[in-house]
Amino acid sequence: MALGNLLIDRWRQVRTPSFVKMLCAHLFTRIIPTLCCSVLYGSSFDSVVTKLQATAIESENPPMEPEDEEWENRGGHRLSWTRYHRHKDEQVSFTSLIVSDIDSYLDYLAYTYTDICQTEIIGKSSQGRDLKLLKVSTGGKGKPAIWIDGGIHAREWISPATVTYILLHLVEFRDQHSELLDSVDWYILPLANPDGYEYSHSTDRLWRKTRSRVGGSRRGSGCYGVDPNRNWDFHWAPGSPSDSCREDFSGPRAFSEPETRAMSEFILSRQGEIKVYLTVHSYSQMWLVPWGYKEEKPRDYYEMYTLAEKGVEALEAIRGTDYLLGTAAELLYTAPGGSDDWAKGVAGIKYSYSIELPDTGDYGFVLPANQIEPVGQETWAAVKAIATHFADGHN
């Protein structure tokens, strides 16, 4: 990403409404901020942004409640939906077992709801973290399945938080929608890029990529990480080594990242079974339908659109959040190597969507943790509407 775009992107991510209103509100478009602020602040534009980031990030995530900490020692879990949780590394034994609040919640569900939940480690990240998936199924064969992944992009913390919120309701409130479990199987991977996620907590809040070394050497040339949503082997666009510092570096080859490779292999192993692919990102409040790599639409776009519309309508009915529905090429820009295009184009999953969660830019990636529950509620409503389509016997 060019420096100008990066600054614009970061400006959009962290703008603090009162501050922005005071200084810039009616002056800037998406293009002008860099130029304008350079003039206003000279070389300190970056530090202005950094200060804004620090303020937004500080207020984004409240500390953990003591009772949540305690739960961990009482055989429960300590995941909550009032704060963002770290993918926390702990030296548990000689083998350096890695423990995560999110992974522990999956284990808790599998341990507590043994009749319907099963964890599976589908692979490892480049730094050795587990890619842990939860299968939710009441058994039986030949059911349609829904795949949901979160956290492909590290800094989009609302994504894994929302995906675990969906798990909470799907599993722990199962009595309220037993038909969705009886007629649909679920494969849910809340944290698809755990290395990047942890790095966005520990070091760079706005980190987007994986943390592999494919673009960077130990001697300091190039940069770490690949954009895991440009790395899928469908109309993948090669990234040259000199691009490795870009936020959207597609990698030296398709599926260079163990994370994308593991996901794709798992999905292909369930080919024909998985009928819906949902990948959860933020931000911009959009429900994106393939194709993302080109402007033309798939032949069955109307059917894809119609089902997506059911999801968006259910979502908007909760609290009136506006979502745009269309292709990425229409609403954003064309981009090759995305997971949703691959799911449709290679895995043959008819209903493949990217959901861009709130907001539309006031907080951007640094969405306050008090938004996890409202965003979770409306997104769960959308997912239920999609699942109901299959529970009603449609294909």
- Which residues are near Zn ion by CB under 5 A? 153, 281
Residues 191 and 100 sit within 8 Å (Cβ to Cβ): yes
Q: Which two tokens stand for residue 303?
A: 């059917």
Pick the catalytic residue: 60, 198, 356, 378? Answer: 356
* Beta-bridge partners for 145: 185, 274
Residue closer to Zn ion, measured from CB, 5 or 137: 5
User: What's the closest the beta carbon of residue 280 comes to Zn ion, in angstroms?
Assistant: 9
Residues 60 and 369 sit within 8 Å (Cβ to Cβ): yes
Can you point out the beta strands (E) in 115-241?
A: 117-124, 130-136, 145-150, 185-189
User: What's the closest the beta carbon of residue 37 comes to Zn ion, in angstroms?
Assistant: 25
Strand-strand pairing, 351-357 and 286-289: antiparallel
Type and span of the H or E element at 288: strand 286-289
Known catalytic membership, residue 58: no
User: What's the closest the beta carbon of residue 76 comes to Zn ion, in angstroms?
Assistant: 31
Residues 117 and 132 sit within 8 Å (Cβ to Cβ): no
Residue closer to Zn ion, measured from CB, 185 or 259: 259
Whole-angstrom Cα distance, residue 138 to residue 91? 36
Whole-angstrom Cα distance, residue 302 to residue 278? 18
Residue closer to Zn ion, measured from CB, 53 or 159: 159
User: What's the closest the beta carbon of residue 112 comes to Zn ion, in angstroms?
Assistant: 31
Owner of token pair 């000199």: 242
Residues 6+ apart with CB under 8 A from 163: 148, 149, 150, 151, 188, 189, 190, 280
User: What's the closest the beta carbon of residue 55 comes to Zn ion, in angstroms?
Assistant: 23
Kindly report the backbone phi and psi dihedral angles of residue 210, in degrees, each rounded to the nearest multiple of 5, phi listed first.
-75, -170
User: What's the closest the beta carbon of residue 201 comes to Zn ion, in angstroms?
Assistant: 17
Owner of token pair 């990636």: 365
User: What's the closest the beta carbon of residue 208 comes to Zn ion, in angstroms?
Assistant: 7
User: 175: exposed, middle or buried (C-beta count within 10 Å: 0-12, 13-18, 19+)?
Assistant: exposed
Residue closer to Zn ion, measured from CB, 209 or 384: 209
User: 326: exposed, middle or buried (C-beta count within 10 Å: 0-12, 13-18, 19+)?
Assistant: middle
Catalytic residues: 356
